[in-house]
Every structure is written in structure tokens, then in C-alpha cells.
């Protein structure tokens, strides 16, 4: 295992990035925290919204009991996110779509910052806070910052709810399965800004590693996944990921100059 403590990108990682046919990136709350996104995660008896802990107001049972309160909470969250912008980590991953033959981006985040940075195809394991979903027919609707949110489905008239995975709910149908399939066939897997504590998302890099992929973790702190990684870089996504892109482009440019000569 290679450890990098001062943003020092191992040559082996750069070589594998340059040669990879298929790259998978799994991102968690850490990458968005660098843009100012609060985790909103309480814990224990921490009251985060009108006396209710995070895992109560953000639960499937609360949708059944008091959907209006759930919407009030998620409307507040979108208000916090509205002015935030993607950071250099988000932008680097979006750029990678043009640098590697196949890039699979899997995120546990619901803030939409990857799409805002330009990523075209994102597997959202936990949904998206900028969408609503019908509680009956499951028709989805975009929520825009400058328009009033609708409360009812135009297709069937049933109430809408936030299109995010709440406590007590399963992941969206097919999302984890697709991520697992891509993980089992990737050459290189990055785990970025995630605690690696939340399953089944945490099993995606394990699937990649078991299938023979080179595994790189980018996180300021150790995680339960660190010990199985081939490379661990202790740093922030916004500082580390652009270095991988830039050094790869520099390497390619140098190689091209040599070929020309």
C-alpha cells in the first residue's frame, strides 16, 4: 500500500489512470463539504429541526405522518444549498469524462453539485434534493430555485415527496446494481470523501477490489476501507483530484512532444 501525506501523487496511480479503460469514482459527503454543504447529520438526541433529530425528520415514517414537515425541512435544506457552487474536486471528475474511455461516477450525495460541475452521467445512490417524486405513480419532477414547488402530481393528483432516500427506505431500484456491475469491471476505483461506513454504498469499492481493480482512497482521515486500498492519499478532494488531471495532461503532452521529435 502506498501512502501520500503531502499531496504527492504516486507515479503508479498516474500510470494506471493514464492507461485505464474504465474508471469508477465513488463520492461521499466530504467532497461536497468542501463547497460548504452541511452534512445535516445529527446523531443520538441531536435536535436539528424544530426539536426533531435528523433521522426522524428525514425518515420514511415521517413522510407518512407529516409530509408537510418533511417538505419544510427539505425546502430549508435547498435554501442552504442554492448559493453553493461545485469545487475543484467536482470539476476535476467532470473533466475526467473526457480523459478516460469510460468513467462511472457514483455518489451518495443528494446536492446535485456533480451535475452542476458538468458531469453528464451520475449514478445517484441516495436520490437528488432538487427532484420531487409522486407518492403513488413515482413520476419525478425537477425542482428549480426560481419556481414554486408543486405539492401534487399532475399525472395522478397524489402528493409529491422529496426524491431522496430516507431512513428506513431502500436505494432506488437498479442504482446499486448498476454501480456494482460497473465496479466489477473497472480497472481503477477512486473512493473520495466518504466515511465508508454506510452500506451498501461502502461495498462498491470492495467489489472493485475483489475484481482486481486498483483502489485509491482520497480522504483527510482514515476509514474502514483504508487498509485494503492500494494507494491512500490524505487530503481534500478539491486539492488532490485536479493534480491527477493536470499531471496526466502534462504526461500526455510530454509524450506527444517526444513522438513528434
3-state SS, residue 110: coil
Residue 226, phi then psi, degrees to nearest 5 = -50, -40
Catalytic residue among 90, 114, 126, 227: 126
Q: Of 68, 70, 33, give the one whose Cα is nearest residue 54.
A: 70
Beta-strand pair 2-4/160-164: unpaired
- C-alpha 11/C-alpha 226 separation (Å) is 19
Note whether 123 and 146 are within 8 A (CB). no
| Per-residue DSSP letter, 243 | H
H or E stretch covering 215 = strand 214-218
Answer whether the bond into residue 200 is a cis peptide, omega within 30°.
yes
Helix 237-260, helix 11-19: angle, nearest 10: 70
Catalytic, 126? Answer: yes
Residue 132 phi, psi dihedral angles, 5° rounding:
-115, 155
> Can you tell me the distance from the alpha carbon of 221 to that of 23, in angstroms, rounded to the nearest whole number?
23
Q: Please list the active-site residues.
A: 126
Amino acid at each position: 500500500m502506498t501512502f501520500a501525506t503531502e499531496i504527492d501523487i504516486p507515479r503508479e496511480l498516474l500510470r494506471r489512470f493514464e492507461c485505464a479503460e474504465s474508471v469508477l469514482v465513488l463520492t461521499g459527503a466530504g467532497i461536497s463539504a468542501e463547497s460548504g454543504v452541511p452534512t445535516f447529520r445529527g446523531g443520538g438526541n441531536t435536535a436539528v429541526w424544530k426539536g426533531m433529530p435528523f433521522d426522524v425528520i428525514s425518515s420514511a415514517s415521517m413522510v407518512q405522518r407529516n409530509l408537510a414537515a418533511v417538505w419544510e425541512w427539505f425546502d430549508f435544506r435547498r435554501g442552504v444549498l442554492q448559493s453553493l457552487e461545485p469545487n475543484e474536486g467536482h470539476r476535476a471528475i467532470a473533466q475526467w469524462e473526457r480523459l478516460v474511455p469510460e468513467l462511472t461516477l457514483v455518489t451518495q450525495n443528494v446536492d446535485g453539485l456533480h451535475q452542476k460541475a458538468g458531469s453528464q452521467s451520475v449514478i445517484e445512490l441516495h436520490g437528488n434534493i432538487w427532484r420531487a417524486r409522486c407518492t403513488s405513480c413515482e413520476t419525478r419532477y425537477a425542482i428549480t430555485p426560481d419556481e414554486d414547488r408543486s405539492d401534487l402530481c399532475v399525472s395522478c393528483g397524489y402528493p409529491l415527496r422529496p426524491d431522496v432516500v430516507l431512513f428506513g427506505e431502500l436505494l432506488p431500484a437498479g442504482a446499486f446494481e448498476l454501480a456494482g456491475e460497473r465496479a466489477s469491471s473497472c480497472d481503477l476505483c477512486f473512493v473520495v470523501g466518504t466515511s465508508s461506513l454506510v452500506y451498501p454504498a461502502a461495498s462498491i469499492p470492495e467489489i472493485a477490489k475483489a475484481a482486481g481493480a486498483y483502489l485509491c482512497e482520497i480522504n483527510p482521515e482514515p476509514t474502514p476501507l483504508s487498509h485494503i486500498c492500494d494507494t491512500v492519499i490524505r487530503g481534500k478532494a478539491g486539492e488532490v483530484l485536479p493534480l491527477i488531471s493536470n499531471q496526466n495532461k502534462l504526461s500526455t503532452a510530454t509524450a506527444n512532444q517526444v513522438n513528434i521529435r
